[in-house]
Amino acid sequence: MTDSKEDLLAGDAARPSNRPDEAFLQVRDLKVHFPTDDGIVKSVDGLTFSLDRGKTLGIVGESGSGKSVTSLSIMGLHKQGTANISGQILLDGQDLVTSTPEQVRELRGKRMAMIFQDPLTAMHPYYTIGAQIVEAYRVHHKVSKAVAKKHAVEMLDRVGIPQPDKRVDDYPHQFSGGMRQRAMIAMALSCDPELLIADEPTTALDVTVQAQILDLIVDLQKDFNSAVIIITHDLGVVAELADDIMVMYAGRSVEYGNSHEIFTAPQHPYTWGLLGSMPRLDRERSERLLPIKGTPPSLINVPEGCPFNPRCAFAGLNGDLSTTERPEFREVSPGHHIACHLSGEQRQHLWDTEIKPKL
């Protein structure tokens, strides 16, 4: 595997913000490794990105690409002793990796909050919605239960739950899926967090409800001016929402750029694959979707060279470079980074002749 110095250099180049030291959230060369009996699972292996207040970052990738592991690392929610975390996670200048669990706990819920995939299992079935929001609020605010409950009603109202003063005493199972996710969002936002991580917030929801929830997140972000990370495997979700998009593969970022560029001028073959496997209503219907062949690699034995090479249709274009050397994560146009051995001309040619016509 590559040594960490190289990763650091790659990381420096990858910093997408012009004001790296001022970004609210900065992740630098994050590595999350899980030692198991079969070997070390390198779930996240040298990830660098940053995010400003009021901005939205979409993290996209297949299952096992390290999206959720990254978010759980930021939140400090990995089980004690199971994960080896190295690198830096700076939240407003404070390094969460070196902070004590108690320090991170105090930030959790207050300065950074998380929305989970399935609101039914993510809420405690035995406590009312109100009680759960009150609990989240009172961990960080020394107020009476009555005041906290009033706040909970306001939050439920804010996320668009009708009759919030009545629904506040309902249990999660008495809510519909969409309402539950709204309540979950109300709970996450109850302490006015500056960073909101939404881990596949719409995956478990009815398609008709998904758009409402996404709209709600956008609305609330404007009001609260929080930094938002949306994790998803659904490019459609981030298309509307995200300012920037990071495409992850095998625990690393393979492409990073602003949302518009990722959709109109993607540079990495993996991103091409993701776009090709996404059904689109705004284009003429093609014969069939173009799935990415193969399966995500084992995170214990990540392929040598470019981790995507076994699945990449263009891996042979540069001799054996793809199988021997790991591509550097470099800036190809302002703010747009990729990790690929293909030259700019090659990519442009492939995109124009082979990829774009098929999308």
Partner 1 sequence: MFAYIIRRLIGAVILLFVVSMVTFAIFFLVPRIAGATVEDMASRYVGKTADEAAIHSMAERLGFTDPLYEQYGRFVAGIFAGADYDTGAEVVHCPAPCFGYSFITRNPVWPDLVDRMGVTISLALGAAVIWLAFGVGTGVVSALRRGTFFDRASMGIALAGVSLPIFFTGLLSLTIFSYGLGWTAPGGSYTDFAEDPLQWAGALILPWITLAFLNAAGYARLTRATMLETMNEDFIRTARAKGLNERTVVVKHGLRSVLTPILTIFGLDLGILLGGAVLTESTYSLPGLGKYAVDAIVSNDLPKVLGVTLVGATFIIIANLVVDLLYAVVDPRVRYS
Q: Phi and psi at residue 298, in whole multiples of 5°?
A: -65, 135
What's the closest the beta carbon of residue 76 comes to partner 1, in angstroms? 9
Residue with Cβ nearer partner 1 (142 or 283): 142
Residue ranges binding partner 1 (CB under 8 A)? 75, 77, 105-110, 113-114, 116, 118, 121-126, 128, 135-136, 139-140, 171, 173, 187-188
Q: Which two tokens stand for residue 319?
A: 């001799």
Residue with Cβ nearer partner 1 (115 or 247): 115
CB-CB contact of 56 with 241 (8 Å): yes
Query: From CA 322, how far away is CA 337, in angstroms rounded?
Result: 18
What's the closest the beta carbon of residue 175 comes to partner 1, in angstroms? 12
What's the closest the beta carbon of residue 324 comes to partner 1, in angstroms? 40
What's the closest the beta carbon of residue 151 comes to partner 1, in angstroms? 14
Residue with Cβ nearer partner 1 (139 or 321): 139
Residue with Cβ nearer partner 1 (109 or 327): 109
Residue with Cβ nearer partner 1 (125 or 357): 125
What's the closest the beta carbon of residue 158 comes to partner 1, in angstroms? 18
Q: Which two tokens stand for residue 80?
A: 């004690």
Give the closest residue to 190 by CA, choosing from 246, 131, 240: 131
| Pairing status of strand 336-339 against strand 56-60 | unpaired
Residue with Cβ nearer partner 1 (69 or 136): 136
Q: How far is CA 294 from the centre of its chain?
A: 23
Residue with Cβ nearer partner 1 (170 or 234): 170
CB-CB contact of 82 with 31 (8 Å): no
What's the closest the beta carbon of residue 3 comes to partner 1, in angstroms? 33
What's the closest the beta carbon of residue 215 comes to partner 1, in angstroms? 23
Give the closest residue to 130 by CA, choosing from 114, 149, 147, 143: 149
What's the closest the beta carbon of residue 68 comes to partner 1, in angstroms? 11
Residue with Cβ nearer partner 1 (42 or 108): 108
